Amino acid sequence: MTAPDSPAPSAPDPVLNLRFSTDAFVVSERIEAWRDLFGHTICQADIEPVGDVPFHSDVVLRALPGLGMASGICSGARYWRPAHLVADDDLIFVVNHIGTDLANMLGRETIVQSGEAVLVTTGAIGGVINKAATRFTTIRVLRAAIAPALADVHEAMVKPVAAGNTALRYLLDYISVLEDTDALVTAEQQRLVVSNVHDLIALAAGATNETIAVAKHRGLAAARLRAIKADIRGRIGASAIDAAALAARHDVTPRYVQMLFEREGTTLSEFMLLQRLAAAHRMLCDPAQDHRRIADIALAVGFGDISYFNRMVRRHFGRTPSDVRNNSDAPRGG
């Protein structure tokens, strides 16, 4: 009797990745084009320019099932949802990176300063006013994905989330995953990313005591690990990356950092070694680096011991550093 075949991974949905710029339109057509694409189609809101400067916007739209995000710049504008555009009850987490926003909804009015965020809904009359040029990120999710994690979703809305909020800070780092095609290859990876974003929004907006632990273990941990990995890659040229200093930069203990990597089946030291080797491989295969000695490349990616570097390259790639350089498929100079 043969074992049944394992179910094939479900096919991922295509990731929407669309850039919109009013530079593609003459000045007189810009606001109407922005209303149609972003206002009515994405936000279900009317848009009116604010101020005397010609209207301008440049935004990237990205979307996965259960998650939509818009990020970019826009001149001053009023985004308002009248009664006839209230069509569902999604939640929108608006992050104001530059400038001052005024959120008005549910009988409440609040100022959202630079670096702060606010939770609003598509299910009520109201909106947000950018009084001048702004840079923003808006994340749209289903109400059912966030509301159960909050004590009272109605009370959580139209209240500023402080710029220093830990979950907000990690959320803004983590959403760069939507640009990483390798992290969104399968439907399960996509679902995990969306779930992590939901966790981070819930933590930022005020999750209940019962859900904080789960969200920290899941979404916040994933965001921290991604930020720690980026930190390591950015310092890969250092001969030593101090684990205690790394942990301190991310407000956790060295043991917690180790635990994050162990959950992935690896260790901090193994990850750093692989990153150094990957950086070395790229340089060895780069014709623009042909003038550099192999020993200099080893030092440049943080290997202080050349003999150790040679052993690790041979063990990992099955070839010496010279063989990696000479057998590279990249066209080499004469």
Predicted pLDDT at 12: 64
**Percent of the chain topping pLDDT 90:** 69
- Count of residues making up the chain: 334
Residue 3 vs residue 59, higher pLDDT: 59
Return the CA Rg of the chain: 24
Mean pLDDT of 160-182: 92
CB 238 within 8 A of CB 302: yes
pLDDT (tens digit, 9 = 90+) per residue, 84-110? 989 788 999 999 999 899 999 999 999
Predicted pLDDT at 9: 53
- C-alpha span between 13 and 187 (Å, rounded): 7
Q: Given CA atoms 59, 62, 63, 69 in this order, what sign does their dihedral have? A: negative
Show the tokens assigned to 10: 């479900």
Predicted pLDDT at 181: 81
Q: Flag whether pLDDT at 6 surpasses 60.
A: no
Question: End-to-end distance of the chain based on CA atoms, in angstroms?
Answer: 61
Predicted pLDDT at 132: 85
pLDDT (tens digit, 9 = 90+) per residue, 15-28? 778 888 999 899 88
- C-alpha span between 208 and 189 (Å, rounded): 26
Q: Flag whether pLDDT at 266 surpasses 50.
A: yes
Helix, strand, coil: what percent of the chain each, to 5? 45, 20, 30
- C-alpha span between 88 and 44 (Å, rounded): 10
- C-alpha span between 307 and 295 (Å, rounded): 10
Global confidence as pTM: 0.86
| Mean pLDDT for all residues in the chain | 89
CB 258 within 8 A of CB 267: yes
How would DSSP label each residue in 110-146? EEE-TT-EEEEETTSSEEEEE-S-EEEEEEEE-HHHH
> Which CATH number does 16-163 carry?
2.60.120.10
Residue 334 vs residue 126, higher pLDDT: 126
CB 174 within 8 A of CB 228: no
- C-alpha span between 70 and 76 (Å, rounded): 16
Q: Flag whether pLDDT at 4 surpasses 70.
A: no
Between the CA of residue 164 and those of 113, 167, 176, 249, 296, what are the distances in Å?
A: 12, 9, 19, 14, 41
Beta bridge partners of 59: 20, 72
Predicted pLDDT at 52: 83
Long-range contacts of 312-317 (CB under 8 A, 24+ apart): 312/273, 312/277, 313/277, 313/280, 313/281, 316/274, 316/277, 317/277, 317/281
Predicted pLDDT at 3: 44
Q: Flag whether pLDDT at 10 surpasses 60.
A: no
Query: What residues contact residue 215 under an 8 Å CB cut-off, 6+ apart?
Result: 149, 199, 200, 202, 203, 207
Instruction: Count the Cβ atoms, other than its own, within 10 Å of residue 302.
Output: 20
Beta bridge partners of 120: 92
Mean pLDDT of 47-72: 90
Q: Flag whether pLDDT at 2 surpasses 50.
A: no
Predicted pLDDT at 219: 96
Q: Flag whether pLDDT at 39 surpasses 60.
A: yes
pLDDT band at 249 (very low <50, low <70, confident <90, very high): very high
> In the chain, what are the domain boundaries?
16-163
- C-alpha span between 133 and 53 (Å, rounded): 9
- C-alpha span between 197 and 175 (Å, rounded): 7
Residue 245 vs residue 43, higher pLDDT: 245
pLDDT (tens digit, 9 = 90+) per residue, 137-154? 999 999 999 999 998 999
Predicted pLDDT at 328: 62
Q: Flag whether pLDDT at 236 surpasses 70.
A: yes
Best CA proximity match to 271, nearest among 294, 241, 295, 306: 241
